[in-house]
Amino acid sequence: MKIILLHICLFFFTVSVFSQESQTKKIAIDEYIDELLLEEQSLDELLASFINFHLLYISVNYNNDTYFSGRDIDIDQYNISPQITYMHSKGFYASVSGIYYSEFIPSWDVTTATIGYGKSFGKDKTWRYYTSLTGYLYSENNIDGLYNGNISTGFGIQNKNRTLGSVLSGSYYLGSDATYQIASRTYANLKLLKTKKHHLKIRPQLSIFAGTQIVDVLSGTALQDSIISQNNIFGLINTQINFPIQYSINSFDFELGYNLNFPTEIGDETDLKNSSFFNIGISYLLDL
Contact yes or no for 116/127 (Cβ under 8 A): no
pLDDT at 221: 47
Average pLDDT over residues 54-71: 91
**Would you say 280 and 258 are in contact if contact means Cβ atoms under 8 Å apart?**
no
Q: Which residue has the higher pLDDT, 153 or 268?
A: 153
Tens of pLDDT, residues 233-268: 788 999 999 999 999 998 899 999 999 999 998 777
Q: What is the mean pLDDT of residues 195-213?
A: 90
Residue 268 is classified by DSSP as T
pTM summary value: 0.79
- Please give the average per-residue pLDDT across 13-18, as a whole number: 49
Q: Are 144 and 4 in contact (CB under 8 A)?
A: no
pLDDT at 140 over 50: yes
Has residue 279 got a pLDDT over 90?
yes
Residue 136: CA count within 13 A, CB half-sphere: 26
CA pair distance 158, 124, nearest whole angstrom: 10
Superfamily of domain covering 2-287:
monomeric porin ompg (2.40.160.40)
If 0-12 CB within 10 Å is exposed, 13-18 middle and 19+ buried, where does residue 42 land?
exposed
Of residues 19 and 240, more confidently modeled: 240
| Residue 23 in this model has a pLDDT that exceeds 60 | no
Helix axes 10-37, 43-50, angle to 10 degrees: 140
Is the CA virtual torsion 36, 38, 279, 133 positive or negative? negative
How would residue 69 be classed by pLDDT, with cut points 50, 70 and 90? Answer: confident
104 — pLDDT class (breaks 50, 70, 90) = confident
Helix (H, G, I), strand (E, B) or coil at 28: helix
- Average pLDDT (74-98) is 91
Q: Is the pLDDT of residue 6 over 90?
A: no
Poorest-pLDDT segment among 31-35, 140-144, 148-152, 195-199: 31-35
* CA pair distance 121, 129, nearest whole angstrom: 8
- pLDDT score at 2: 33
Is the pLDDT reported for residue 223 higher than 90?
Answer: no
Is the pLDDT at 120 greater than 80? The verdict is: yes
